[in-house]
Amino acid sequence: MRLFLLFVFVTLQGCSTAKHVRLYDGPAIGQDQEVQLVLPLSFELISLDEQPIAQFSQTFRNHDLTVKLSPGKHTLVMRYRDIWQIDADNHQTLSSGQMTFTGEFNSGESFTINTPLLNTLAQAQQFVEQPQVSLVSDQQTITGSHIKKADPLTFKQDENIEKVTYPHLKQLKFWWEKASEYEQQQFQQWLSATP
């Protein structure tokens, strides 16, 4: 079974051979006019100028992806996501919250993604909590802002919850205080006998 899953995974990786993706309408404007962003294997482009990006060409790749944009002002939203080996049999998938980059992208500019060194699982775990990422070209550096990823396992306290009241509790206390010692004992026996 493990060999079959490995075969399927390798086959799917081989299906994604595109190394360049153009994300602007109309005919190609030429490499000297295009803006290029080299997207490492561990980064996903989520949206460009508030338009979602199809994830298929990014999901099953085994290489960096060059994203071609038109020059001008753009807002890019990305996410870090990578699989880290813990030991021979275990791995952990780490992902960051969304990172937003807004800037003026010039004709012919080529950007790479700059991150701190991520050589260990501990470094990667610290990075996803507070990623320091920037887009770097020969002309400029655009620093991203990070939106912390929501923790789905954390319960949020609702401030608007109404206080629960028990209308019969007051009556039970009243009658308990009025009952004789014998009546209280009989009532306790009845409670313990009731399933």
Residue-wise pLDDT for 134-161, tens only, equals 999 999 999 999 887 766 555 566 666 6
Distant-in-sequence, close-in-space partners of 96: CB < 8 Å, separation ≥ 6 = 79, 80, 81, 127, 128, 131, 146, 149
Residue 191 predicted with pLDDT over 90: no
User: Does the pTM of the predicted model rise above 0.75?
Assistant: no
Q: Is the pLDDT of residue 7 over 80?
A: no
Q: Which of 69, 35, 70, 39 is nearest to 57 (CA)?
A: 39
Whole-number pLDDT of residue 177: 86
> What is the domain partition of the chain in residue ranges?
2-147
- CA atoms of 136 and 115, how far apart (whole Å): 10
Q: Which residue matches tokens 């992902």?
A: 95
Burial annotation 101-122 (CB, 10 A radius, 16+ → b, else e): bebebeeebebebeeeebeeee
User: How far apart, in whole angstroms, are the C-alpha atoms of residue 189 and residue 187?
Assistant: 5
Inform me whether the pLDDT recorded for 1 exceeds 80: no
**Mean pLDDT value across residues 100-118:** 94
pLDDT category, 58, cuts 50, 70, 90? Answer: low
Mean pLDDT to the nearest integer, 119-134: 92
Residue 2 has pLDDT above 80, yes or no: no
The angle at the Cα of 48, spanning 45 to 50, to the nearest 5 degrees, equals 120
Rounded CA-CA distance 40/80 in Å is: 9
Strand duo 141-143 + 43-48: pairing: unpaired
pLDDT at 9 over 90: no
pLDDT for residue 14 is more than 70: no
Closest CA to 184 of 172, 167, 169, 171: 172
Mean pLDDT computed over 70-85:
93
Provide mean pLDDT across the span 51-59: 74
Report how far residue 106's alpha carbon sits from residue 135's, in angstroms, rounded to the nearest whole number.
Answer: 13
For the residues of 29-81, what is the DSSP string, one character each?
--TTTSEEEEE-TTEEEEEETTEEPPSHHHHT-SS-EEEEE-SEEEEEEEEEE
